């Protein structure tokens, strides 16, 4: 999984932006050689939903590195296909749900919104010695 996260980072196309203190934006262009397209689907490559979730999760970790483990994906809507070479803008905004970090994420391209989702993270637990 770590290799896929590293591969995702390699396909960012510029510096991230912080339009406000709780939001992060990053542009990506996943080329045809991106390993996330492998097998999904031969002859008709699409960016898999789990990779789209990983993109938003990566931005969430930048916004709040202290967040615990991803525990739930809510309100996920995958509205259209993302194909190799398409420039997308990923946006992530932090908020809280019952005291735990949550993130609202979107993926937009030239043809409009491709996906939206809410990621919920467990509170990081401290382990006593």
59-63, 74-78, 96-100: range with lowest mean pLDDT = 96-100
In-domain check, residue 128: no
Please count the structural domains in the chain: 1
Q: Which domain holds residue 44?
A: 2-121
In-domain check, residue 18: yes
Residue closest to 108 by CA, chosen among 55, 70, 61: 55
Instruction: Evaluate the CA torsion angle 65, 1, 78, 73 in order and state its sign.
Output: negative
In-domain check, residue 101: yes
d(Cα 70, Cα 115) in Å, to the nearest integer? 18
Give 21-40 pLDDT, tens digit per residue: 889 999 999 999 999 898 78
In-domain check, residue 86: yes
d(Cα 87, Cα 125) in Å, to the nearest integer? 37
Which CATH number characterizes residue 108's domain? 3.10.129.10
In-domain check, residue 64: yes
Q: Which residues lie below 8 Å from residue 13, measured CB to CB, with a gap of 6+?
A: 27, 28, 29, 87
63-67, 107-111, 124-128: range with lowest mean pLDDT = 124-128
pTM of the entire structure? 0.89
Give 96-108 pLDDT, tens digit per residue: 888 888 999 999 9
Task: Provide DSSP, 36-101.
Answer: GGTTSSTTS----HHHHHHHHHHHHHHH-TT---EEEEEEEEE-S---TT-EEEEEEEEEEETTEE
């Amino acid at each position: 999984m770590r290799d896929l996260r590293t591969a995702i980072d390699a396909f960012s196309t510029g510096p991230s932006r912080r339009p406000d203190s709780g939001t992060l934006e990053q542009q990506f262009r996943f080329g045809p050689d991106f390993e996330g397209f492998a097998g999904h689907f031969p002859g008709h490559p699409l960016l898999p939903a789990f990779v789209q979730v990983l993109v938003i999760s990566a931005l969430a970790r930048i916004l709040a590195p202290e967040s615990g483990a991803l525990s739930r994906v809510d309100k996920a809507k995958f509205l259209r296909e993302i194909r190799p070479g398409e420039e997308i803008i990923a946006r992530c905004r932090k908020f809280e749900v019952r005291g735990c970090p949550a993130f609202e994420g979107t993926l937009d391209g030239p043809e409009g919104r491709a996906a939206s989702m809410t990621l919920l993270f467990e509170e990081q637990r401290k382990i006593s010695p």
